[in-house]
């Protein structure tokens, strides 16, 4: 899916040797694939939604597979490029079009999405998440910034965070600097006082650096860093390593 980049004034990405973790007052986290493995969650949620449609709106599943429904959402994203930052809208719009196509009322879209989003928030946290948040909460202000539509209140970890920013609320997707700027708007924090942590080299690390923040790459899967991006200042494989890095002063 394409992303909107450059909506906010561009900030030159700092070289890895020009930024340290000294003076960090806040930590901002990505969610999907940072706090939990997202694709098993999405697959379960889509299957739950499909099973609901099979029971209550059988004409839909008589003609559509899960794969064809995913393809339909991709077409919706192309038809509504101005809404590509809002995954909730895209899913609901695709369901609405299915309802119309198969002669059902528009309530089908709301019902099916409710089933999806309930399952989408039934995540399994990586085992290092809660202990890391417990250790960081007393020392840093904590935030999140996500392109997805997970709800930390439903997941049960919202109390750790001062602010949770979703792309659909900003009107832009990471790596757009607007997402990162929204995280600290009105907090009294300067961008260089915030560390962003995430799994995606472009969306998280490079996006945060363009917004003037420090960034740490969380590489849980032994992935290879893209050759076309400046190397990250620090790489960790778990959030436990992140905590230890911060406790050591980022050196």
Domain boundaries, the chain: 16-36+125-247, 39-120
The single-letter DSSP state of residue 30 is -
How many CB atoms neighbour CB 56 within 10 A? 13
8 A C-beta contact, residue 168 and residue 92: no
Q: Domain spanning 39-120 has what CATH number? A: 1.20.120.1600
Kindly give the pairing relationship between strand 234-236 and strand 163-166: unpaired
Domain 16-36+125-247 CATH class label: alpha beta
Q: Is the peptide bond before 71 cis (omega within 30 degrees of 0)?
A: no
H-run or E-run covering 145:
strand 141-146
How many CB atoms neighbour CB 156 within 10 A? 12
pLDDT tens for the chain, residues 1 to 251: 333 333 344 444 444 334 568 899 999 999 999 999 999 999 999 999 999 999 999 999 999 999 999 999 999 999 999 999 999 999 999 999 999 999 999 999 999 999 999 999 999 999 999 999 999 998 999 999 999 999 999 999 999 999 999 999 999 999 999 999 999 999 999 999 999 999 999 999 999 999 999 999 999 999 999 999 999 989 999 999 999 999 987 54
Kindly report the pTM of this predicted structure.
Answer: 0.88
Equal fold, 16-36+125-247 vs 39-120: no
């Amino acid at each position: 899916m394409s992303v909107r980049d450059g909506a906010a004034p561009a900030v030159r990405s700092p070289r890895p040797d020009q930024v340290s973790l000294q003076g960090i007052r806040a930590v901002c986290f990505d969610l999907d694939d940072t706090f939990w493995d997202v694709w098993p969650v999405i697959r379960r949620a889509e299957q739950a939604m499909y099973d609901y449609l099979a029971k209550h709106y059988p004409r839909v599943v008589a003609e559509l597979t899960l794969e064809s429904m995913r393809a339909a959402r991709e077409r919706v994203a192309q038809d509504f490029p101005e809404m590509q930052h809002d995954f909730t809208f895209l899913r609901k719009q695709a369901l609405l079009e299915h309802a119309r196509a198969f002669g059902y009322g528009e309530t089908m879209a709301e019902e099916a999405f409710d089933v999806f989003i309930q399952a989408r928030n039934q995540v399994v946290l990586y085992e290092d998440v809660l202990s890391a948040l417990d250790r960081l909460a007393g020392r840093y202000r904590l935030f999140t910034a996500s392109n997805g539509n997970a709800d930390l209140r439903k997941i049960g970890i919202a109390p750790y965070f001062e602010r949770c920013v979703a792309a659909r609320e900003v009107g832009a997707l990471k790596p757009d600097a607007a997402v990162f700027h929204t995280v600290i708007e009105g907090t009294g924090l300067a961008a260089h006082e915030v560390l962003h942590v995430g799994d995606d080299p472009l969306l998280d690390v490079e996006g945060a650096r363009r917004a003037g923040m420090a960034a740490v790459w969380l590489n849980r899967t032994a992935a290879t860093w893209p050759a076309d991006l400046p190397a990250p200042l620090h790489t960790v494989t778990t959030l436990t390593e992140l905590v230890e890095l911060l406790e050591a002063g980022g050196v």
